[in-house]
Amino acid sequence: MQFPPKNFESLRQFLTLLRQGDIKLDIGKKSLLALVVMVDNPDVVATSNIVELAKFVKISPASITRLSKLLGFKGYNYFRQIFKQSSHSKTDYYSQRAKDIVNEKPPTHKDLITSQLQSTITNVQQCIQRMDDKDLAEIIRLLAIKRQIFVFGHQQSSAIASIFRYGMSLIRRNVQLLGPTEHGIATAMGQMRQGDLLFIISSSPYSQLTVDIASIAAKQACTIIALTDSKLSPLHDYATHAINVATEGQYYTNALAANCILVESLLSLTAIELGQPAVDKLKQHENLLSQLNVNA
C-alpha cells in the first residue's frame, strides 16, 4: 500500500485495511470515525474548508490537520486534493481503460481475444482458489432456503443481475430484481423484511447507489451475498458472505465473463441443493411455455 495514498480509491482501500487491523496506525477513535465519514462523503470534503469539515465530522480543525499529516500528507489542502479528484476519476474510469487498450494495441485481432480468454480463466481460477468450501456451502444453502431473494446490479452489473435473477426464478419462487428506476428500487426495498436475502453485484469503480442499497439492507437485518471484485470492495462492509471475482483484462469496461461463469455455477449448485423441487419448478415453466406456444 502506497503511503500517503495516491488517490481516493487508495485511501478507501487503506481505510478498509486499517479497520480490519491489517495496517497499524496510531490513530484515535474519533479521528478514525471522522475519516470514515469523510470517505463516505467525498464531495463534502472536496467542497469544504477545514473549519466547515470540522463541524461536519465533529472533530477540531487541528485534529484534521494532524490526521492529514498522520496519513502522510503535508497538510489538509494536500489531503483534500484526492477527494477533489475522486469525482473526476469516476467519470473517466472507462475512457482511461479504453486509452490503455488502444495504446497497447495487440499484433492481431486474435491475440486480443486470446488475451481476454486467458484473463477470464485466471480470474475464475483465482476466485476458486481463494473460496472457502464451508462459506460456499452456506451461500448455496441460503440461496435455496431464503423466503425472498432480491437481486441488484447497477449499470454494467445489471446484466449479471438479470442473468442471475432469471436463472434463479426458473428453479425457485420469490426472486425479485430491484429496479430499474430509483423509485422502483425504493418500492421494492420497502418490501424487504428481516431475514430476506439480497444478492448484490458491483466492481470498481463501485456505484454509490449499490453501496447505499447494501447499507440499507444491512440496517433492515437482511442477509447479504455480494458478488464483487476484492476484499477491499465497500460491499464487504455490509456483506454476510462475499464472492470475490477479479475483473482484470484488456477491456474498456470491467471483464464480466468470469462473473457469468460464477453465477452459472451458483445456479447449478442451488438446483442441486433444491433437488427435485428445482426440477419440478422447471417442468412447470416448460409446461407454461408449451401452453403459450413459445420457446424457452
The residues facing 151 across adjacent strands are 177, 199
Pull the grid cell for residue 173.
Answer: 419462487
Q: For the chain, which residues make up each domain, given as ranges?
A: 8-91, 109-292
pLDDT digit of tens for each residue in the chain (296 aa)? 567 888 887 888 888 888 878 888 889 899 999 998 998 888 889 888 999 999 999 999 999 999 999 999 999 988 988 887 765 555 677 787 788 888 888 889 999 899 889 999 999 999 999 999 999 999 999 999 999 999 999 988 999 999 999 999 999 999 999 876 656 777 777 888 899 999 999 988 888 889 889 999 999 999 999 999 888 788 988 999 999 998 888 888 888 899 999 999 999 999 999 999 999 999 999 898 888 876 65
What fold, for 109-292?
Answer: Rossmann fold (3.40.50)
Q: Collect all residues with Cβ–Cβ distance below 8 Å to 206 and sequence separation of at least 6.
A: 233, 234, 235
Q: 109-292: same fold as 8-91?
A: no
Q: What architecture is the 8-91 domain classified under in CATH?
A: Orthogonal Bundle (1.10)
Amino acid at 170: L
Amino acid at 93: Y
Contact predicate 139/245, CB 8 Å: no
Structure pTM? 0.74
* H-only helix segments in the chain: 8-20, 29-40, 42-47, 50-57, 61-70, 76-91, 93-103, 109-130, 133-145, 157-169, 182-189, 208-219, 257-274, 276-292
